[in-house]
């Protein structure tokens, strides 16, 4: 596939990194020559210095031959203009990054599609939805739903309270026969392991599990996780993520939002009628104590500054807050933040790149997700007639060692995969895979 990406910022660069080893021809277009030189030295992509809204530069990038054109510059107007021009020049499919909620209204979205924009991506909206999902499933580090919750993927940290600590997968399977779940990966230190029966769970492991929704609570129990409700929450930062999260949750819980900018805090207060908006610096311990941080069930830090969010969440945990979520946009900080116990992390660049990534695959992929603290991807494939995955039961098809089939959705029901499972046409299959196996996995679904 020939893919042209306009915008060599964090989203565009991470997307190029994900795609450059997947047998695609990647062209990266940006105005910043120095930035492109640095990318050139690290990634196997063609870089072109130019403007995403210039017809001449788009033609130089040969968008007329592009199977996919992606505009992810920092400027929404440039992305919209660029994708319209790219479509007119002959690009087969176009995707534009936006920063405006009104473009997602059905009639406006249809209008933009008529102009030539096939898909819209709004990273802040994805991030807000992510925060809300995490808050609704306490005890998990990451959680993702497939087919409206028919199957769930979530990460659980193994502690000394866990019944499964120091046990092998085979031993756990024998003690939990009535549960519909499967451990598909283990993140241990800086390594992601695709586990087999002999692998053992150890303290500090982050275990990724696929299960039916009605098994989540029981899995949490054997993992030693306490169930609790979130009734009081504090949000640090009046960013678009913070505002969208508050707007969605303010009628369901006692909510406070701290914003350092005085003028902005007044504006947010007018828009969020059921949220107590406080003008103040969230790094001020006295202010946090005064506003009752120790009584909060959850603390969400989304200031846009990774260092502030990490430190604020560590402080909240020290004060006894059970659920902490930090926006960590500096990708280099993610592993460090995970190791020091920040809690759950979101990164809107990774969310946007993952959302776009599924459009680059030749197999039919309904969902794709690059997991924040793991060098792995979770994908939901739709099974086509005569695809290789349907030829025999799973134990006989020589599936890649660095990937795991977690479960399938068939006729609206979730099924946890075993060696005896036979995949059928029309199934949706949830796969957990390391980056090294993505091409091999994709071949099973073509």
**334: in domain:** no
Do 208 and 305 reside in the same domain of the chain?
no
Do 100 and 144 reside in the same domain of the chain?
no
Residue 117 has pLDDT above 80, yes or no: yes
User: What's this model's pTM, rounded to 2 decimal places?
Assistant: 0.84
Do 255 and 316 reside in the same domain of the chain?
yes
How far apart, in whole angstroms, are the C-alpha atoms of residue 356 and residue 360? Answer: 7
Q: How many CB atoms lie within 10 A of CB 390?
A: 18
Do 9 and 78 reside in the same domain of the chain?
yes
Compute the mean pLDDT over every residue in the chain, rounded to the nearest whole number. Answer: 89
Do 253 and 303 reside in the same domain of the chain?
yes
Residue 412 has pLDDT above 70, yes or no: yes
> What is the band of 181 on the pLDDT scale with cuts at 50, 70, 90?
confident
How far apart, in whole angstroms, are the C-alpha atoms of residue 265 and residue 238? Answer: 7
| pLDDT, tens digit (0-9, with 9 covering 90-100), for 134-167 | 888 776 777 888 877 788 888 888 888 888 888 8
Residue 375 has pLDDT above 70, yes or no: no
| In the block, residue with structure tokens 């994708």 | 83
Phi, psi dihedrals of residue 337, rounded to the nearest 5°: -65, -40
| pLDDT, tens digit (0-9, with 9 covering 90-100), for 389-409 | 999 999 899 899 899 999 999
| pLDDT, tens digit (0-9, with 9 covering 90-100), for 305-332 | 999 999 999 999 999 998 999 999 888 8
> What is the band of 410 on the pLDDT scale with cuts at 50, 70, 90?
very high
Tokens found for residue 242: 């913070």
Domain that holds residue 391: 352-443
Q: What is the domain count for the chain? A: 4
**130: in domain:** no
How far apart, in whole angstroms, are the C-alpha atoms of residue 29 and residue 50? Answer: 6
Per-residue H/E/C for 319-344: CCCCEEEEECCCHHHHHHHHHCCCCE
What local confidence, expressed as pLDDT, does residue 422 receive?
92
Residue 370 has pLDDT above 80, yes or no: no
**331: in domain:** no
**432: in domain:** yes
Domain boundary among 222, 251, 268: 222
| Mean pLDDT computed over 351-358 | 86
> What is the band of 174 on the pLDDT scale with cuts at 50, 70, 90?
confident
């Amino acid at each position: 596939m020939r893919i042209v990406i306009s915008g060599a910022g964090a989203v565009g660069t991470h997307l190029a990194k994900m795609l450059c080893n997947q047998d695609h021809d990647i062209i990266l277009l940006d105005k910043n020559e120095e930035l492109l030189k640095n990318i050139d030295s690290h990634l196997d992509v063609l870089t072109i210095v130019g403007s995403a809204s210039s017809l001449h530069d788009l033609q130089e990038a040969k968008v007329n031959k592009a199977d996919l054109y992606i505009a992810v510059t920092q400027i929404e107007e440039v992305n919209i203009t660029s994708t319209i021009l790219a479509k007119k020049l002959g690009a087969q499919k176009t995707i534009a990054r936006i920063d405006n909620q009104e473009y997602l209204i059905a009639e406006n979205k249809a209008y933009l599609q008529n102009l030539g924009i096939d898909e819209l991506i709004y990273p802040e909206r994805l991030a807000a939805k992510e925060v809300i999902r995490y808050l609704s499933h306490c005890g998990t580090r990451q959680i993702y739903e497939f087919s409206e919750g028919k199957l769930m993927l979530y990460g659980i940290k193994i502690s000394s309270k866990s019944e499964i600590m120091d046990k092998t997968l085979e031993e756990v399977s024998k003690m939990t026969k009535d549960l519909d779940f499967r451990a598909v990966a283990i993140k241990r230190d800086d390594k992601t392991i695709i586990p087999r029966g002999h692998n053992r769970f150890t303290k500090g492991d982050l275990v990724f599990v696929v299960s039916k929704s009605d098994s989540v609570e029981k899995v949490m129990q054997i993992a030693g996780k306490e169930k609790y409700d979130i009734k009081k929450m504090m949000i640090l930062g009046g960013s678009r993520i913070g505002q969208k999260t508050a707007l969605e949750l303010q009628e369901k819980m006692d909510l406070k939002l701290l914003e350092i900018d005085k003028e902005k805090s007044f504006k947010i207060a007018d828009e969020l009628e059921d949220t107590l908006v406080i003008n103040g610096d969230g790094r001020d311990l006295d202010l946090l104590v005064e506003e009752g941080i120790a009584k909060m069930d959850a603390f969400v830090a989304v200031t846009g500054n990774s260092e502030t969010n990490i430190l604020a969440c560590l402080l909240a945990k020290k004060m006894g807050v059970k659920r902490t979520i930090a926006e960590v946009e500096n990708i280099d900080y993610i592993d460090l933040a995970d190791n020091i116990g920040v809690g759950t992390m979101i990164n809107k660049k990774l969310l946007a790149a993952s959302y776009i990534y599924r459009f680059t695959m030749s197999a039919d992929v309904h969902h794709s997700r690059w997991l924040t603290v793991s060098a792995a991807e979770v994908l939901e494939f739709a099974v086509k007639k005569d695809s290789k995955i349907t030829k025999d039961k799973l134990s006989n098809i020589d599936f890649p060692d660095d990937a795991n089939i977690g479960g399938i959705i068939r006729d609206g029901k979730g099924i946890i995969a075993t060696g005896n499972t036979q995949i059928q046409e029309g199934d949706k299959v949830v796969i957990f895979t390391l980056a090294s196996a993505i091409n091999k996995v994709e071949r099973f679904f073509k």
